[in-house]
Amino acid sequence: MSNRLPILVVIGAVLLFLVYSAIFVVNERQQAIVLRFGEIVDVKTEPGLYFKLPFAFLEADNVQIIEDRILRFDLDDIRVQVSGGKFYEVDAFIAYSINDPRRFRQAVSGSVALAEQRLRTRLDAALRRVYGLRGFEAALSEERASMMREVAEELRPAAASLGLEIEDVRIRRTDLTAEVSQQTYDRMKAERLAEAERLRARGREAAARIRARADREVVEILAAAQRESEILRGEGEAERNAIFANAFSRDEDFFEFYRSMSAYQQALDPSGTTMLLSPDSEFFRFFNDSSGGGARSSAPAAPGATAGQ
């Protein structure tokens, strides 16, 4: 019995090895391709525990695990030319899944990197064509969604030939290149300067209108004030003359005396002027007779002639 124990242990180990090498597990995020001597014999798309022939190292049965989830492939800094002739830089990505493991194995040997390399070329060409038919503003408008759908439709035949299904295509960034950015900045700067000059011109025009209106109002106000002052001055002169006439009619002698005193005050003002008059002149009648005797035809007036300084 003791001699058989090592043999049983060896047999058990071999059996365990055979069972282990014949079992493989596929989880919910995977697919499995069973290869026998390099040929596809089965594809497992449902999660679970499966069996195959052992001795994978002898090329009997091999299992290649394929992703069964949505994958993402990014493509950055694609240089595209729009319909206006200018160049822009675009970042985009593709969301795809492996829906045909057999074709995927046959086309790219089940290599995700090789499949994405082929998609890169097709995506680059599709983006260039879609942008080439439109202007830059289209990528910033509601047309952006239709552009992404158009790129996805163009990629689907190429993806299907690789065993892939395009789930979505998204444009992450559409930006100006360095030279176009500078040109756009210069153009926007010139437009803003022109707009600022138009606004200044409108301001100067409005200011000129306001000043002209203010000057006209000043002239009108001054004219009205001058007219009002002339009217008031005329009314004052009329009232003054009426008062003098009333005073003269009440006492003619006193009025003549008052006028003579006013004339003396004006004529004898100490201005250094020398007057030569006869003593019995009518002008001095109140000096000779305080009662104002003599000729009383009129009140004395200021002399009309002077003789030197």
Q: What confidence tens digit (pLDDT) does each residue in 46-80 have?
A: 887 877 777 655 666 788 888 888 999 888 888 88
CA geometry: angle 281, 282, 286, nearest 5 deg: 105
Torsion angles phi and psi, residue 91, rounded to 5: -110, 135
Q: Indicate whether 309 pLDDT > 50.
A: no
Q: Indicate whether 226 pLDDT > 50.
A: yes
The answer to whether 155 touches 119, Cβ cutoff 8 Å, is yes
Q: What confidence tens digit (pLDDT) does each residue in 167-202 have?
A: 988 888 877 766 666 677 778 888 898 999 999 999
Q: What confidence tens digit (pLDDT) does each residue in 103-162 have?
A: 998 888 888 899 999 988 898 888 888 888 887 777 677 787 888 888 899 999 989 999
The pairing of strands 39-44 and 30-36 is antiparallel
Q: How many CB atoms lie within 10 A of CB 153?
A: 12
Distance linking the first and last C-alpha atoms of the chain: 175
